[in-house]
Structure 1
Amino acid sequence: MLSVMHLAELNVAHLRAPIDSPEIAEFVALLEPINDLADAAPGFVWRLKESETDPTATVIHGYGDHLLINFSVWESLETLWDYVYRSEHLNVLRRRREWFLRMAEPYMVMWWVPEGVIPTLAEGMARLERLKAEGPSPAAFTFKDSYDSSEAASLPAAAEARK
């Protein structure tokens, strides 16, 4: 019997200016309401929070200056899609060029995890690097080139552990 799988998602963005600069102020003001929207969205399971009181704290991770990281787990690809493209989040997403530099390489990755498992940030960054190096696979994919959880569940656990 296959276990229930959830979808892990990581995306990174390079801010055009420091998080406390006037150029980014409108984005910062939108962080808390958009995060609250995610937290209340159907299918939402978990998201990385560096601080319960400071929604900008996800900027500081030791992965580079002005790097904003969004890292979450969802019940399904469909529930994440609905949040990203069928909620108020879409209006913020459409404005991303105002606040973030354009990235030529993949900046978002998804993969399946067993229900109840919260992946680490290091794993998420490794999955993003894997997507950049190898392209989409059941172990690291995008909305455009997605895989269902049964494809990920069929990956040999030992082979996954070595990667």
Structure 2
Amino acid sequence: MHLAELNIGRLLAPTDDPRVADFMANLDRINGMGKRMPGFVWMMEGSGEPGTGNTEACLDGDPQFVANLSVWETPAQLQTFVFDTLHAKFMDRGKEWFENLVQMHFVMWWVPEGTEPSLDDAMAKLAYRETHGDSEDAFGWDWLRAHAAQ
């Protein structure tokens, strides 16, 4: 099994607004770094237009709602990318670019090797986690760490 993850956020401004320019200018850099990391398997891609990442995949028709969906071989490899690379510095700056969401915005789940989950599949996992909490079917970092130790 591989590990899928979905992270959603709502930008404070449209993608061409100066308030999110630094975020947009670094999308290709950070995504490219992730794709070169050991354990990276797949990432939902946008149009390929430089500096747009996957921002075309807006949620609920709202172009400021953006999603990152990827698959990794192991939790440890995803964790290294998220917390131990330049990605972490940009994640720390998230409040500069993203609204503070009250609803659930992150989920992980297991997928069979070779699976490229759809955004609809991922959003269903997110909704499941928000409704039912962490479980074998949809979980966050704390649940994963607690159950990896068993």
Shared fold (TM-score, shorter chain, > 0.5): yes
Q: How does 1:75-94 map to 2 (within 5 A)?
A: 75-94=73-92
Task: Confirm whether residue 67 of structure 1 aligns to residue 103 of structure 2.
Answer: no
Match of 1:40 among 29, 36, 39: 36
Based on CA coordinates, which of the two structures has the bigger radius of gyration?
1
Could you state the TM-score of these two structures normalised by the residue count of structure 2?
A: 0.91
- Residue 93 of structure 2 aligns with an amino acid whose one-letter code is R
Kindly indicate whether the alpha-carbon contact (under 8 Å) linking 1:17 and 1:24 is maintained by their aligned counterparts in 2: yes
Please tell me the root mean square deviation across aligned C-alpha atoms, in Å.
1.5
Kindly indicate whether the alpha-carbon contact (under 8 Å) linking 1:60 and 1:67 is maintained by their aligned counterparts in 2: no
Offset from partner CA, 1:99-125 (integer Å, 9 cap, x none): 000112220000001111111111000
Shift in Å, 1:85: 0.1
Cα distance, 1:60–1:53 mapped onto 2, change above 3 Å = closer
Shift in Å, 1:80: 0.4
SS of structure 1 residue aligned to 2:104: coil
Match of 2:125 among 121, 127, 131: 127
What is the count of residue pairs matched by the alignment?
145
Distance 1:22 1:141 in 2: 35
Offset from partner CA, 1:19-49 (integer Å, 9 cap, x none): 1101010100110100110000110000000
Could you state the TM-score of these two structures normalised by the residue count of structure 1?
A: 0.84
- Percent identity of the aligned residues? 38
Q: Report runs of 4+ in structure 1 exceeding 3 Å deviation.
A: none
SS of structure 2 residue aligned to 1:145: helix
Distance 2:50 2:103 in 1: 29
